[in-house]
Homo-oligomer: A and B are copies of this chain.
Amino acid sequence: LYTNCVLDLLETIRVQLSSERMQFNPAHGEIELKTNGSLCSICADRATGKHYGAASCDGCKGFFRRSVRKNHAYTCRFSRQCVVDKDKRNQCRYCRLKKCFRAGMRKEAVQNERDRISCRREGQAAGSLSISVLLQAEASTQQFSSWTPAAHSDITAKKIALVGDVCESMKQQLLLLVEWAKRIPDFCELPVDDRVCLVIDSAPHLGGGSAYSLCWNSHDDLPVTGNDFVIPVSGPELEVSKVAARILEELVRPLRELDITDSEFACLKAIIFFAPDCPGLESPQPVRRVRFQAQVLLDEATCEQRGRFGELLLMLPPLQSVAWQMVEQLQLARLLGEASVDSLLQEMLLGEGASAAATASTAAATRASDNFTSVILPVPTGKFGSIYHFNMLNLRGAFLKFSRQADSEQYF
């Protein structure tokens, strides 16, 4: 459950970061079309060719070689967001090296002595999981998402999110999560019961929380939900605002400072999703194995930047904590009768009260999922009855009821 929230939070940050990048470089499209190969992709100086995997100038080439050779560990004196251009490229070596890696330079391309280039060593012996698989899964899921960063220019036109809107956003993210998981071979090879377990358990982390912290407006520092609502830090609903404040402070700010890449984001998402401690898991070992592969991939994706891998992994506890609080707030609001929690989401997340209204309210979602192919087989009812695991929210029970409904099989 909490994993889903976390994943949702991540999604929001990722989208925001990509929109931020577009804001800061509005004309990069034209320039790169004309002088694609002649500009250094790190500092925009005149490039002298491809070096270590990226078009770059002699300066960045030499800098990268020296840094890799001497195994330098730079530290940014500011907030790891320094501008790297021709004039300022020598002002922060940490950010320059970071941009080298980000531009595609690989430290394996730096040879010592006069080595022959050992070209064909790059294999996928580490397992079937790879960065490209994760990135592709992410890209495939993106097309289902109705939300686009470019559309978020006018913040004042957006409605303020109430608890119900947050729930709706989480529901949408949940559907996308299933699609995402189906794109990962390791997931498909798991036992069907465990597949259900993982999706259900990770819902709040990836479906709820992550979407918020990622869809925040860079101008106003306000989180934006997947369905185009603004979550105000001080709004009409105190619970929602509290969560928004925590998202900004504990998740958005650190991730913004880290300036997470797409690859890193993809790995982090997989690490959160493949949770071996997921309650009710029949065979945790395969899941643990996949998570191990994912965290090793993340380590590689951070490109030897001192402490970066650790900082990214240390996002998980606050992500879990915020997701937890978010679900708790939703339940609280429901108990107080302040919001009309969608009955589907209620079943999925809160595990109480099956209602007849569920069928109607899930109609839209069902239509959206018509194109989805089935990977998770229909869940045999009653199989989960014996499983009980302490949890503030009995999600498995909720899913059981949900899966008994006729139209629910379409989600999987």
Please list the residues of chain A having a beta carbon within 8 angstroms of any beta carbon in chain B. 74, 77, 87-88, 90-94, 111-116, 242, 246, 249-250, 271, 275, 277, 291-292, 295-296, 298-299, 306-307, 309-311, 313-314, 316-318, 320-321, 324-325, 328, 390, 392
Contacts and interface: CB of A to CB of B under 8 A. Distances in A.
A126 to B, nearest CB: 9
Given A90-B115, A112-B90, A277-B250, A295 B310 contact: yes
B318 A296 contact: no
**From DSSP, what is the main secondary structure of chain A's interface residues?**
helix
Count of identical protomers in the assembly: 2
A90 B295 CA distance: 28
A298 B310 contact: yes
Nearest to A96: B115
A87 B242 CA distance: 61
B116 A77 contact: yes
Closest 7 CB pairs of A and B: A295-B310, A313-B313, A90-B114, A250-B277, A93-B115, A296-B307, A277-B318
Given A307-B295, A314-B313, A90 B111 contact: yes
Nearest to A392: B328
30 contacts: A90-B111, A90-B112, A91-B112, A91-B113, A91-B114, A91-B115, A92-B115, A94-B115, A246-B390, A249-B277, A250-B277, A271-B314, A277-B317, A277-B318, A291-B314, A292-B307, A292-B311, A295-B307, A295-B310, A295-B314, A296-B306, A296-B310, A309-B309, A310-B313, A313-B313, A313-B314, A314-B316, A316-B316, A320-B320, A325-B390
A321 B275 CA distance: 13
Nearest to A318: B277
B306 A310 contact: no
Among A74, A115, A271, A328, the one with the most B-chain Cβ atoms within 10 Å of its Cβ is: A115
Contacts of A299: 307, 309-310
Contacts of A113: 91
A318 B279 CA distance: 11
Q: Which of A114, A310, A318, A325 has the most CB of B within 10 A?
A: A310
A390 B90 CA distance: 44
A6 to B, nearest CB: 9
A74 B90 CA distance: 29
A307 B313 CA distance: 12
Contacts of A246: 390
A242 B298 contact: no
A272 B61 CA distance: 39
A310 B270 CA distance: 14
- Chain B CB within 10 Å, residue with most, of A87, A275, A307: A307
Nearest to A296: B307
A328 B87 CA distance: 56
Nearest to A113: B91
A23 to B, nearest CB: 20
A390 B203 CA distance: 22
A48 to B, nearest CB: 18
A115 B317 CA distance: 34
Given A87-B112, A277-B318, A296-B306, 18 more contacts: A74-B115, A90-B111, A90-B112, A92-B115, A250-B277, A275-B317, A277-B317, A292-B307, A295-B307, A298-B310, A299-B307, A299-B310, A310-B313, A313-B313, A313-B314, A314-B316, A317-B320, A320-B320
Contact of A321 (B242, B306, B320): B320
Nearest to A250: B277
Nearest to A279: B246
Nearest to A292: B307
A93 B390 CA distance: 40
Nearest to A242: B390
Contacts of A316: 314, 316-317
A111 B87 CA distance: 9
Contacts of A392: 328
